[in-house]
C-alpha cells in the first residue's frame, strides 16, 4: 500500500496551511533529558493533500452509503442526514455535561421523551440511556438483576441460561458479572427447546437471556411458556433487543413476560454504526428492577410545582438518581449524540414506527422468497434451516450453503467474498453457529424492491458461476483475500518509523 501520508513528514516538508510547531515557551519546563531530539514523524500535509488522502481511504471501504448491506442481526439501515443536522444544533452540540439543568432543558426533554418512548414500545417501566453499546446494556441489566437477587437474600443464584443460538455478547456479559453460563440446545427447527429449558432451571437460576425473534429471524411463539418456566424457578427474563426492528408496535417484551431489555439505538433507531459512529445501548426494566438502574435518569415535573406562583406553565426536567443504583456504567450521560439522532428518527415516524417493522419483515420475507424460488432452470445450492416454517420468519433469515459446498467446494465464505465484486456487503457469515455454512440476511426496511430483485439475481449468478471464480474472489476490491491466520499471528498495528509506505 502506498496510500499513507507519512511521506509528508513534518521534519522535511511543512504543509504550508499549518502553523509550524512552536514549543519555545513550554519546552523550558521540560527537563533536558526528557526532551526529544528529533521532530516526530507526524505527517504535515497541505489541505488538498489531506483531503485527497482521506477521500481515497473512504473509497476503499464498503459502507451502507456505498451499497446494499444485508448484514444480519446488525440492522444496517440508512442513516437519515436530517438526524445529523438536528444533532449539530448548537443547543445540543455545544453544551457541556456540567452545565446547570436550567441551561439544558431542551436536551433533558429529549432524554425524557426517549426514555418514555422506549419504555412504552418495550412494555417496561423505566429506562436508562447510559450504556453505549448493546453489550454494555446487557452487562448493566444483568448487574441490576444480580442486585435484585442479592437484596432478596438470593445471591446464591449463580447461573444464567442462554440458548445456543445466542449472540456471543450474552454469555460474555453474564460471565463478566460473575455468572456461570448454562447453554441450552435449540430444537431441530431452530426454536427454543422447552424441555431443555425445564431441565436447566433450578434454585441456582439467576436469569435467562434470549432474543425474540431469535438470531435465525424466527419468532418464538412459545416465549410465554419459557418465561413462566424461568419465573417459577425464581429467575429473571432478559430480552436481547437487537432484533427490535422485527416487532416494534406489534408486540413487546413486556407482554412476553420479560423483566429487562436492551435496545440498540444504532440498529433499530438508525444511529450510524459499523465504523460509522458510536453506539448506544439503553436498557429498560420492569418496576421491581427500577431502583437499581445506573444514575442519572431524567424526571419531569409540572412547572407549577417547581415554581409555585411563577408565570411558567409546562414542564421542568431534572436529573435524578435511582434509590439503590448500581452506579454509573459510563462517563457523563452516555452517548448524547446517538440519543438525539435516535430521538429525531422516532419523532418523524411517531405512531408509524409499526410500519417500519412491517416493511423490514416484508423485505426479509420477499428476499427469502426470491432467493429460494429462482428461475426453475437454475439449480440452487442453498437451503433454509430444516423444518423451520416460513411463516415465522421475521426481519432476517438464514440459509445454509452446505449443499453448495458439497456440490462444488465453494463455501459460505467464498460466496461472501464474491458478493463484494457485485457491490454488496456480505450477509453475516457463520453466525448463528447452529446453521452449517450459515449466511444470515437482513435487508432492513430502507431497501427498494429493485435492490432486492437485483441482489437475488446476482446471488443466483454466484451460486451457478464457475467455482474457480468464486474461490478466488474478491477480484475488484482494493484488497483481495487476506490471510487472516497470518495477519492474526503477525499483528502490525503501526507504520514502521520513517517509511513512506508499508
Q: Using CB under 6 A as the criterion, which residues of the chain lie in contact with ligand PLP when the complex forms? A: 73, 133-135, 167, 169, 211, 215, 240, 242, 264, 279, 281
Answer whether 221's CB lies under 8 Å from 392's CB.
Answer: yes
Q: Which is nearer to ligand PLP, 281 or 296 (CB)?
A: 281
3 state DSSP class of 454: helix
Nearest distance from C-beta of residue 137 to ligand PLP, angstroms: 8
Nearest distance from C-beta of residue 169 to ligand PLP, angstroms: 4
Answer whether 172's CB lies under 8 Å from 209's CB.
Answer: no
Backbone φ and ψ of 124, nearest 5°: -105, 170
Nearest distance from C-beta of residue 133 to ligand PLP, angstroms: 4
Nearest distance from C-beta of residue 342 to ligand PLP, angstroms: 13
All three cell numbers of 330, joined, read: 459510563
Q: How many other C-beta atoms lie within 10 A of the C-beta of residue 481?
A: 14
Q: Which is nearer to ligand PLP, 73 or 270 (CB)?
A: 73
Q: What does the alpha-carbon distance between residue 162 and residue 38 come to, in Å, rounded to a whole number?
A: 55
Answer whether 476's CB lies under 8 Å from 66's CB.
Answer: no
Q: Quote the DSSP letter at residue 273.
A: -
Q: Which is nearer to ligand PLP, 279 or 296 (CB)?
A: 279
Q: Which of 269, 277, 221 is nearest to 241 (CA)?
A: 269
Q: How many other C-beta atoms lie within 10 A of the C-beta of residue 23?
A: 9
Q: Which is nearer to ligand PLP, 396 or 447 (CB)?
A: 396
Write down the residue that cell numbers 458478493 correspond to.
419
Write down the residue that cell numbers 437451503 correspond to.
383
Q: Which is nearer to ligand PLP, 43 or 70 (CB)?
A: 70
Q: Quote the DSSP letter at residue 9.
A: B
Q: Which is nearer to ligand PLP, 163 or 322 (CB)?
A: 163
Nearest distance from C-beta of residue 127 to ligand PLP, angstroms: 16
Q: What does the alpha-carbon distance between residue 439 and residue 360 come to, in Å, rounded to a whole number?
A: 18
104-110, Cβ contacts within 8 angstroms, sequence gap of 24 or more: 105/316, 105/317, 107/336, 107/340, 108/298, 108/317, 108/318, 108/319, 109/315, 109/317, 110/339, 110/340, 110/343
End-to-end CA distance of the chain: 6
Q: What does the alpha-carbon distance between residue 434 and residue 427 come to, in Å, rounded to a whole number?
A: 16
Q: What does the alpha-carbon distance between residue 312 and residue 299 come to, in Å, rounded to a whole number?
A: 18
Nearest distance from C-beta of residue 292 to ligand PLP, angstroms: 21
Nearest distance from C-beta of residue 172 to ligand PLP, angstroms: 10
Q: Which is nearer to ligand PLP, 217 or 296 (CB)?
A: 217
Nearest distance from C-beta of residue 433 to ligand PLP, angstroms: 13
- Dihedral of CA 428/434/435/437: which sign? positive
Write down the residue that cell numbers 474457480 correspond to.
468
Nearest distance from C-beta of residue 262 to ligand PLP, angstroms: 8
In three state form, how does the secondary structure of 88-140 look? CCHHHHCCCCCCCHHHCHHHHHHHHHHHHHHHHHHCCCEEECCCCCHHHHHHH
Nearest distance from C-beta of residue 491 to ligand PLP, angstroms: 23
Q: Which is nearer to ligand PLP, 172 or 303 (CB)?
A: 172
DSSP per-residue letters across 19-56: PPP--HHHHTTS-GGGS-SS----B---HHHHHHHHHH
Q: Which is nearer to ligand PLP, 108 or 135 (CB)?
A: 135
- Report the chain's C-alpha Rg in angstroms: 26
Q: Which is nearer to ligand PLP, 166 or 404 (CB)?
A: 166
Q: What does the alpha-carbon distance between residue 399 and residue 440 come to, in Å, rounded to a whole number?
A: 6
Nearest distance from C-beta of residue 87 to ligand PLP, angstroms: 19
Nearest distance from C-beta of residue 271 to ligand PLP, angstroms: 10
Nearest position to ligand PLP, beta carbon? 134
Q: What does the alpha-carbon distance between residue 50 and residue 43 come to, in Å, rounded to a whole number?
A: 10
Q: Which is nearer to ligand PLP, 140 or 264 (CB)?
A: 264
Nearest distance from C-beta of residue 343 to ligand PLP, angstroms: 18
Q: Which is nearer to ligand PLP, 380 or 429 (CB)?
A: 429
Q: Which is nearer to ligand PLP, 168 or 478 (CB)?
A: 168
Amino acid at each position: 500500500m502506498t496510500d499513507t501520508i507519512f511521506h509528508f513528514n513534518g521534519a522535511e516538508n511543512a504543509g504550508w496551511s499549518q502553523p509550524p510547531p512552536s514549543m519555545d515557551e513550554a519546552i523550558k519546563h521540560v527537563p533536558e533529558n526528557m526532551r526529544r531530539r528529533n521532530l516526530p514523524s507526524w505527517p504535515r500535509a497541505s489541505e488538498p493533500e489531506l483531503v485527497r488522502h482521506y477521500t481515497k481511504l473512504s473509497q476503499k471501504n464498503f459502507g451502507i452509503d456505498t451499497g446494499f448491506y444485508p448484514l444480519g442481526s446488525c440492522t444496517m439501515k440508512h442513516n437519515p442526514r436530517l438526524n445529523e443536522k438536528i444533532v449539530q444544533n448548537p443547543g445540543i452540540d455545544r453544551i457541556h455535561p456540567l452545565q446547570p439543568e436550567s441551561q439544558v432543558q431542551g436536551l433533558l426533554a429529549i432524554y425524557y421523551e426517549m426514555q418514555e418512548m422506549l419504555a412504552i414500545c418495550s412494555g417496561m417501566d423505566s429506562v436508562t440511556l447510559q450504556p453505549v453499546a448493546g453489550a454494555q446494556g446487557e452487562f448493566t441489566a444483568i448487574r441490576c438483576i444480580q442486585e435484585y437477587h442479592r437484596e432478596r437474600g438470593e445471591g446464591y443464584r449463580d447461573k444464567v441460561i442462554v440458548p445456543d443460538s445466542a449472540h456471543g455478547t450474552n454469555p460474555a456479559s453474564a460471565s463478566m458479572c460473575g455468572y456461570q453460563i448454562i447453554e441450552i440446545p435449540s430444537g431441530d427447527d431452530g426454536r427454543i427447546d422447552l424441555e431443555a429449558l425445564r431441565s436447566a432451571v433450578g434454585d441456582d437460576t439467576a436469569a435467562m437471556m434470549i432474543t425474540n425473534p431469535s438470531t435465525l429471524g424466527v419468532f418464538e411463539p412459545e416465549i410465554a411458556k419459557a418465561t413462566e418456566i424461568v419465573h417459577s424457578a425464581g429467575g429473571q427474563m432478559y430480552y436481547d433487543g437487537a432484533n427490535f426492528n422485527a416487532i416494534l408496535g406489534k408486540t413487546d417484551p413486556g407482554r412476553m413476560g420479560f423483566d429487562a431489555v436492551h435496545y440498540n439505538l444504532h440498529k433499530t433507531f438508525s444511529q450510524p454504526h459499523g465504523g460509522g459512529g458510536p453506539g448506544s445501548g439503553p436498557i429498560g426494566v420492569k418496576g421491581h428492577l427500577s431502583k437499581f438502574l445506573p444514575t442519572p435518569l431524567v424526571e419531569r415535573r409540572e412547572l407549577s410545582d417547581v415554581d409555585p406562583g411563577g408565570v411558567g406553565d409546562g414542564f421542568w426536567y431534572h436529573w435524578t438518581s435511582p434509590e439503590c443504583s448500581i452506579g454509573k456504567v459510563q462517563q457523563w450521560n452516555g452517548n448524547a449524540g446517538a440519543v438525539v439522532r435516535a430521538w429525531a428518527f422516532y419523532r418523524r415516524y411517531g405512531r408509524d414506527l409499526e410500519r417500519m417493522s412491517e416493511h423490514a419483515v416484508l423485505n426479509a420475507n420477499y428476499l427469502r422468497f426470491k432467493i429460494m424460488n429462482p428461475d426453475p432452470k437454475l439449480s440452487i445450492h442453498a437451503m433454509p434451516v430444516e423444518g423451520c416454517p416460513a411463516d415465522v420468519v421475521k426481519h432476517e433469515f438464514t440459509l445454509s450453503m452446505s449443499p453448495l459446498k458439497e456440490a462444488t467446494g465453494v463455501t459460505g465464505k467464498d460466496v461472501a467474498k464474491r458478493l463484494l465484486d457485485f457491490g454488496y456487503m456480505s450477509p453475516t457469515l457463520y453466525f448463528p453457529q447452529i446453521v452449517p455454512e450459515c449466511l444470515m440476511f437482513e435487508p432492513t426496511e430502507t431497501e427498494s424492491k429493485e435492490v432486492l430483485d437485483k441482489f437475488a439475481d446476482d446471488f443466483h449468478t454466484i451460486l451457478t458461476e464457475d467455482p474457480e471464480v468464486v474461490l478466488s474472489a474478491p477480484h475488484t476490491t482494493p484488497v483481495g483475500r487476506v490471510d487472516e491466520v497470518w495477519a492474526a499471528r503477525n499483528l502490525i498495528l503501526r507504520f514502521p518509523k520513517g517509511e513512506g509506505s508499508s
